[in-house]
Amino acid sequence: MQHIAFFLVNSSMQIIAVRNLVKKFGQIAAVDGISFGVEENTIFGFLGPNGAGKTTTISILCTLLAPTSGTASLNGHDCHAESALVRRSIGIVFQDSSLDKDLTARENLLFHAYLYDVGKSERKKRVEDALAFAELTDRADNLVKTFSGGMKRRLEVARGLIHRPKVLFLDEPTLGLDPQSRANLWEFITDLPKKHNVTIFMTTHYMEEAEVCDRIAVIDKGKIIASGTPAELKKIVGGDVIYLKTTDNRKAVEEIRELFGAEASEKDGEIFISTLRGEACIPAIIREIGERVLSVRMQRPTLNDVFLKLTGKEIREENASAGDDIKEAVRSYRRRHDRG
Amino acid sequence: MIEANAVYVIVMRELKKFVRERSRLVSTIARPLVWLFLVGGGMSRLVPTGRGVSYMQFIFPGILGMTILFSSIFSSISIIWDKEFGFMKEILVAPISRFSVVVGKATSGMLLSTIQSVIILAFFPVLGLSIGPLQIVGIVFVCAVLAFALSSFGIVLASFYDSYESFSVIMNFIVMPMFFLSGAMYPVKLMPPVLRYFTKVNPLTFGVDALKHLIYPLEKGPMSADFPFVIDVLIILAASLFFVTLGGKAFERKG
């Protein structure tokens, strides 16, 4: 049954299709046999800790790296064999800024427009539009090195859209930004599929940011360990938890078990109930035993809980993790073998 | 395949940045002038050159070659900066061939070096040289070809290095020996045989030699040019073609 469903999904237009993709650097498999698809004009989130293989996967999709085995296609073109066609269809915002800091905002955008062969009649208009879109019109002729982190990111996103790509890649777009700029940038990004008719492929290791995605794939140690909508993923950890305080907890626990057949128990003077649809459960509880309820609160599982459940570790570990070791190993391998 | 739009915009970027960085222009012009007047001026008293050109006049073609060598290599080495600061990625994911990137970089290196060598060339009356308009056309042509060859060579070098720590290695072990083993400061024919061998695998030698032919065509004896003019020009043309192709290959290898 599952296989049939898989094929049905496959036959509809997938802007990105990845099958059994493997990328090895020497002995290390940075990407270890992953498969996934991305629907057109959606936001797809690629989640995982440092060194999980996110950037390697993006590099393959962007034609910067050749896969060891497996295939990746974008907009119907093979990312390795038809790299020129793929490049025309994509825009990229890299983890590290790729702006020329010694040029102005406008010059960076014009450079991009020429590089992607945007016609003369269109060029000026698109650059002005991009400046307006990035809210940088009044700073257009300032050197990029005078910009804040948030301004640079907005400029990069706007630049990535100048040639009207089908897919925009965002590799850790909010890394190193303050919370305020992060929030602004997300507002800006979530509008893109509607406004610009573009599919967003993003990576992040901030789980809370992935909430805006239509679909998510969680990657760890080069393998996809779960995928689905944010809501589906949260079901993995067992749904919502409702916390209740009542005048008589013991009696209330019994009643709730009886009435709803739900898992309820008492701890530290609080009753907690695991349920899939918390928002529907609360009114029912209030209706039945409302006069005895002193307080009620509900906790939704976060994607962090999902990651914790799947891997047994936090996605962001403060000390240098195994992921950083892999990153370093890959970097030194590349230094020795394929330079740059 | 070469995309004209890509070559154009890469060249424009380099020119714009060059005009903006006045200090770079000052230092690239100052170095050859220091060598010409301080080293050349001092050595003139020490080196008897007979009745022909003075030592300061003798090194003038070499100083032009030095201007081209340094500014071409600097220009190409900026690729390492672009890699380090991430801008190279913007270029590498664009739908343009790697060869266009190399041609764009080599062309901008050629233009910048030629402009600088023309500025140095303007000092010829101070040295008591007389150079006619036709000679000047020839000199600018040789400078441009040599600059293209050396810029392409610089791109090949840059493709081997990823960080700017390597910059001093390139300067000390490649650029400086290339300068001294080019006949810029002393005639090739007076060098020991071992060193003479190195001068012959150095493209700068033939560029400097061609300039010697053009700047003091009547000079005979030890300070005169070392190789036939036609050979010089053919070799720097061939070197241009060779290094730009090699640069293209070195760039395509990546990714």
What is the mean pLDDT of the segment spanning A289-317? 76
Which pLDDT does position A11 carry in this prediction?
45
Q: Which residues pair with A274 in a beta bridge?
A: A241, A263
Tokens of B238: 């061939």
∠ CA A100-A102-A107 to the nearest 5 degrees? 65
Residues of chain B contacting residue A92, judged by C-beta atoms under 8 Å apart: 89, 93
Q: Examine the pLDDT at A105 and tell me if it is beyond 60.
A: yes
CA distance A212 to chain B (A): 27
Name the nearest CA neighbour of B155 among B29, B236, B249, B234.
Answer: B249
Backbone angles phi, psi at A94, to 5 degrees: -75, 165
- Residue A324: pLDDT band by 50, 70, 90 thresholds? low
Closest CB from A66, A96, A117 relative to B86: A96
Closest CB from B12, B16, B95 relative to A88: B95
Least confident of A61-75, A195-209, A295-309, B92-106: A295-309
What is the full DSSP assignment across A282-339?
HHHHHHHHGGGEEEEEEEPPPHHHHHHHHHSS-SS-SS--HHHHHHHHHHHHHHHHT-
Instruction: Give percent of chain B above pLDDT 90.
Output: 66
Residue A117 to residue A131: CA distance in whole angstroms: 19
Orientation of helix B22-33 relative to helix B98-121, angle to 10°: 60
Q: Which residue in the block uniquely carries the two structure tokens 């006949």?
A: B183
What stretch of H or E contains B114?
helix B98-121
Measured between alpha carbons, how far apart are the two ends of chain A, in Å? 45
Least confident of A201-215, A233-247, B235-249: A233-247
Which pLDDT does position A9 carry in this prediction?
47
Residues of chain A contacting residue B92, judged by C-beta atoms under 8 Å apart: 64
User: What does the pLDDT look like over A11-42, one tens digit per residue?
Assistant: 457 899 999 999 999 888 999 999 999 999 99
Backbone angles phi, psi at B165, to 5 degrees: -65, -30
Q: Examine the pLDDT at A322 and tell me if it is beyond 70.
A: no
pLDDT mean across residues, chain B: 91
Which pLDDT does position A316 carry in this prediction?
57
What is the mean pLDDT of the segment spanning B241-255? 84
Higher per-residue confidence, A263 vs B204: B204
Closest CB from A92, A94, A107 relative to B16: A107
Q: Examine the pLDDT at B105 and tell me if it is beyond 90.
A: yes
Backbone angles phi, psi at B252, to 5 degrees: -70, -30
Q: Which residue in the block uniquely carries the two structure tokens 């099958």?
A: A19
Least confident of A188-202, A225-239, B57-71, B194-208: A225-239
CB neighbours of A81 closer than 8 A, spacing ≥ 6?
Answer: none
Residues of chain A contacting residue B158, judged by C-beta atoms under 8 Å apart: none
Closest CB from B8, B160, B254 relative to A114: B8
Residue A168 to residue A91: CA distance in whole angstroms: 5
Q: Which residues pair with A47 in a beta bridge?
A: A204, A218
What is the full DSSP assignment across A38-100?
EETT-EEEEE--TTSSHHHHHHHHTTSS--SEEEEEETTEETTTTHHHHHHHEEEE-SS--S-
What is the mean pLDDT of the segment spanning A204-229? 87
B76 and B10 Cβ atoms separated by less than 8 Å: no
Q: Which residue of B has its CA nearest to A169?
A: B93
A45 and A202 Cβ atoms separated by less than 8 Å: yes
User: What does the pLDDT look like over A121-168, one tens digit per residue?
Assistant: 999 999 999 999 889 999 999 999 999 988 999 999 999 999 999 999
Residue contact A97–B86, C-beta within 8 A: yes
Higher per-residue confidence, A304 vs A102: A102
Which pLDDT does position A95 carry in this prediction?
84
The CA distances from residue B182 to A148, B46, B52, in Å, are 48, 21, 21
- Residue A314: pLDDT band by 50, 70, 90 thresholds? low
Which pLDDT does position A27 carry in this prediction?
87
Q: Which residue of A has its CA nearest to B159?
A: A339
Which pLDDT does position A4 carry in this prediction?
44
Residue A163 to residue A196: CA distance in whole angstroms: 11
Q: Examine the pLDDT at A207 and tell me if it is beyond 80.
A: no
- Residue A1: pLDDT band by 50, 70, 90 thresholds? very low
> Residue B122 carries which DSSP code?
T
What is the mean pLDDT of the segment spanning A183-192? 85
Q: Examine the pLDDT at B253 and tell me if it is beyond 70.
A: no
User: What does the pLDDT look like over B171-203, one tens digit per residue?
Assistant: 889 999 999 999 999 899 889 999 999 999 999
A200 and A44 Cβ atoms separated by less than 8 Å: yes
What is the mean pLDDT of the segment spanning A67-90? 92
> Residue B230 carries which DSSP code?
H
CB neighbours of A327 closer than 8 A, spacing ≥ 6?
Answer: A50, A51
What is the full DSSP assignment across A159-206?
HHHTT--SEEEEESTTTT--HHHHHHHHHHHHTHHHHH--EEEEEES-
Residue A340 to residue A51: CA distance in whole angstroms: 18
Which pLDDT does position B210 carry in this prediction?
97
Tokens of A332: 């030194």
Q: In A, what residues contact B, Cβ < 8 A? A: 62-66, 84, 87-88, 90, 92, 94, 96-103, 107, 110-112, 114-117, 335, 338-340
Q: CA neighbours within 13 Å on the CB side: how many for A24?
A: 8
Which pLDDT does position A278 carry in this prediction?
77
Q: Examine the pLDDT at A174 and tell me if it is beyond 60.
A: yes
Higher per-residue confidence, B246 vs A273: B246
CB-based contact, B255 to chain A, within 8 Å: yes
Instruction: Give percent of chain A above pLDDT 70.
Output: 88
What is the mean pLDDT of the segment spanning A67-77? 93
Which pLDDT does position A7 carry in this prediction?
45
Which pLDDT does position A323 carry in this prediction?
59
Name the nearest CA neighbour of B77 among B180, B8, B1, B170.
Answer: B170
